[in-house]
Amino acid sequence: MLRIDVITIFPGLFEAFLGESMVGIARRESLLDVGVHDLRDWTSDRHHVVDDAPYGGGPGMVMKPEPLVEAIEAVAGERSSGRKGPVILLSPQGARLDQEKVAELAREEHLVLVCGRYEGVDQRVIDLAVDEEVSIGDYVLSGGEVPAMALIEGVSRLLPGVLGNPESLTTESFQAGMLEGPQYTRPAVFRGLEVPQVLRSGDHGAVERWRAERARDLTRRRRPDLLEPSGEQMKEYTP
């Protein structure tokens, strides 16, 4: 079973997320265990302060190091000894999260996800207690909570035994690294628009060839970067 611990100043954000859908099922089936921790539990002042003004001046606030490092050490252990998996800070400065990274994280025993707020965290937290920084994309959010949820959801659906329908993972891994082509369900004609005849032909070979062609075509037009055969670009996605 994978254990994920989250450190945040907004634990309430995770409540509905962790109870619903595939993540909720994974937890109820004991394939995933998630602990959400309020960073303010590791403050020692009356007002539970977790931020302070930046050295050197400038706008906004920075997350102060003491509560964060204590929280991380409490849930993950010391960096030098006895950690069962990486401490990950969600941050725009991190390496972009992709399916390969998600699959790698799904094979860990323990993940600790640190959600920053304000302008970010004191660099010494990263130097002393963070193993890696991960970004979910080049846009600015208000905190690492939504990125942490994206990571948890991506990882959860790869855990052995989680999918109700293991077929769809197989199909996906076959199509891995490409965009999915169009999909249809009933009715065969909707507002004058028809489902492509090949999908209703019952010829499974023809259906597979059509889907592969649609996928390749769409990927070539929308995301040519995914098809680039240069060593680093083309990636393996083994769940």
Give residue 201's Cα distance to chain centre: 38
Count of residues interacting with ligand 4HQ (CB under 6 A): 15
The answer to whether 65 contacts ligand 4HQ (rule: CB under 6 A) is no
The answer to whether 77 contacts ligand 4HQ (rule: CB under 6 A) is no
The answer to whether 139 contacts ligand 4HQ (rule: CB under 6 A) is yes
The answer to whether 137 contacts ligand 4HQ (rule: CB under 6 A) is yes
| Degrees, nearest 5: CA angle 74-80-85 | 65
Residues 81-110 that bind ligand 4HQ (CB under 6 A): 90-92
Collapsed DSSP state (helix, strand, coil) of residue 184 = coil
The one segment of 32-40, 130-138, 173-181, 216-224 that binds ligand 4HQ by CB under 6 A: 130-138
CA distance 72 to 130: 8
Smallest distance, ligand 4HQ to C-beta of residue 193, A: 37
Inter-residue long-range contacts of 124-129, CB under 8 Å, 24+ positions, other chains counted: 124/65, 124/69, 125/63, 125/65, 125/68, 125/69, 125/72, 125/89, 126/89, 128/65, 128/69, 128/79, 129/68, 129/69, 129/72, 129/73, 129/76, 129/79, 129/87
Q: Whose Cβ is closer to ligand 4HQ: residue 137's or residue 161's?
A: 137
Q: Whose Cβ is closer to ligand 4HQ: residue 86's or residue 92's?
A: 92
Give the number of other CB atoms < 10 A from CB of residue 217. 13
Smallest distance, ligand 4HQ to C-beta of residue 121, A: 7
Contact partners, residue 78, CB within 8 Å, separation at least 6:
none
Smallest distance, ligand 4HQ to C-beta of residue 117, A: 6
The answer to whether 189 contacts ligand 4HQ (rule: CB under 6 A) is no
One of 62, 102, 136, 152 touching ligand 4HQ (CB under 6 A): 136
Smallest distance, ligand 4HQ to C-beta of residue 140, A: 5
One of 43, 135, 173, 175 touching ligand 4HQ (CB under 6 A): 135
Running DSSP on this structure, what letter comes out for residue 114? Answer: E
| Degrees, nearest 5: CA angle 165-154-218 | 80
Binding site for ligand 4HQ (CB under 6 A): 90-92, 116-117, 120, 135-137, 139-141, 143-144, 147
